[in-house]
Structure 1
């Protein structure tokens, strides 16, 4: 309980300081001037003050009331945030550096939360989760419907729609849309929310209706229908199989 409380409080503090209390001018200054950017130090200070307030309240309410723990944890967050943001400022500013940046910050917060709460049961919970067949079957299902399923559908479509070219579309757009679609469908199936599955298919049909009705190419309509039905069929099979295995 105390671990989860401290963890979520620190994550909320991180989100506020990183996204709501950091103007774009500070981000641009950091990306341009890197470690020479004055705004970077202001940003780190905002994180430090926010974290210090949260840790102090937690420490003197649920913890061991040690000021040294507050200072060490706050300093760790500030120093780690400084170096992580400096590393990000030299990146290409894409999605991957953004995700790695946020993951690194969250990992620091998790480590400090474990240290401050002395939560020995945390590793036990992680071990139980990693050895739980139900969780592993769910992870296996999501892995199946992503890349392996995309390869299978592409091979089937190439076999059934030879000499067809989907020109005018973004590279890998169909594959990316299909992956997101299958992730949502599998989630609905595992949650036993088949109404959400119907809503997703209806929404996709509405968005694609204009393209298909305006198109003179019958092959395009058949291609989209085949891809959708294959994606739904495979995801349904995987989802129902996993529900059976974990029940």
Structure 2
């Protein structure tokens, strides 16, 4: 397990603490022709070597450095200005997946990983978590559409898709609290959101907006609670 932790630490150091902004800009401008890209991948290999402190692990270290180079090159080649956030998240996920697989494989624990990925527990959790993201957002959008149309106001400005991502995050948090038996945290989360929303409700002075927010919030929390409880029940079967 410590091999995996050290590889993750090397990734954090190499990607976030030891990569100057000038290197990031140079890579985005020159892409595969930027020497900074290859220096960056080499630094990841060097950090892995220093933290593992085992020259016999050179195959693992070389695999980490080479995979980092390939993933970063793919990101630089296909990302656009409008898709930087998406590619940043994808890039980090791919790096972590490679690190986990290589780390566990090096420790001869790959069978344990595949056993978990094929287990009922993983499938149940993955199904619940995926359902609480985009699918529930679409369902809520359909359910409250009559009310959202009724309160639509062209003068009201908000961040693009902010409401959708806030809803996804709060549902995942509710799901986490339910699965870890911290029901009191659900109440705290609901109270916190109410405090942030209080200013909007006070300034709007509109009963429609108040009712719309309450309906959306309670539906979102209710679905997350139900999914969390059903997941708990399924895991006990």
1:5-154 correspondence runs (5 A): 5-55=2-52, 57=53, 59=54, 67=55, 69-90=56-77, 91-92=79-80, 94-117=84-107, 119=108, 121-132=109-120, 134-154=121-141
Paired residues, number: 231
Contact 1:166–1:220 under 8 Å retained in 2: no
Residue pair 1:26, 1:39 contacting (<8 A) in 2 also: yes
Counterpart check, 1:179 vs 2:176: no
Distance apart, 1:191 and its partner CA: 0.9
Q: CA deviation at 1:33?
A: 2.1
CA positional deviation for 1:181: 1.2
Which structure is larger by alpha-carbon Rg, 1 or 2? Answer: 1
1:220 aligned onto 2:198: no
**In angstroms, what is the RMSD of aligned CA positions?**
2.3
Residues 115 and 200 (structure 1), Cα distance of their counterparts in 2 relative to 1, 3 Å cut = closer
CA distance in 2, matches of 1:218, 1:225: 11
Report SS of the residue matched to 2:150: coil
- The C-alpha deviation readout for 1:195-236, integer Å capped at 9, x for no partner, is 211111111111110011010322111100111111122222
1-side partners of 2:40 and 2:148: how far apart? 54
In structure 1, how many angstroms separate the alpha carbons of the residues matched to 2:153 and 2:118?
Answer: 42
Mapped to 2, the partners of 1:47 and 1:162 lie a distance apart of: 51
User: In 2, distance between residues paired with 1:182 and 1:219?
Assistant: 24
Q: Give distance in 2, aligned partners of 1:239 and 1:114.
A: 30
Measured in 2, the distance between the counterparts of 1:53 and 1:220 equals 57
Shift of 1:27: 1.0
SS of the residue corresponding to residue 22 of structure 1 reads coil
Q: Does 1:155 align with 2:142?
A: yes
User: Which SS does the other structure have where 2:229 is aligned?
Assistant: helix
Question: Residues 107-129 of structure 1: CA distance to partner in whole angstroms, max 9, x if unpaired?
Answer: 33234324433x1x432442244
Are the structure 2 counterparts of residues 182 and 52 from structure 1 closer, same or farther at C-alpha, using a change threshold of 3 Å?
same
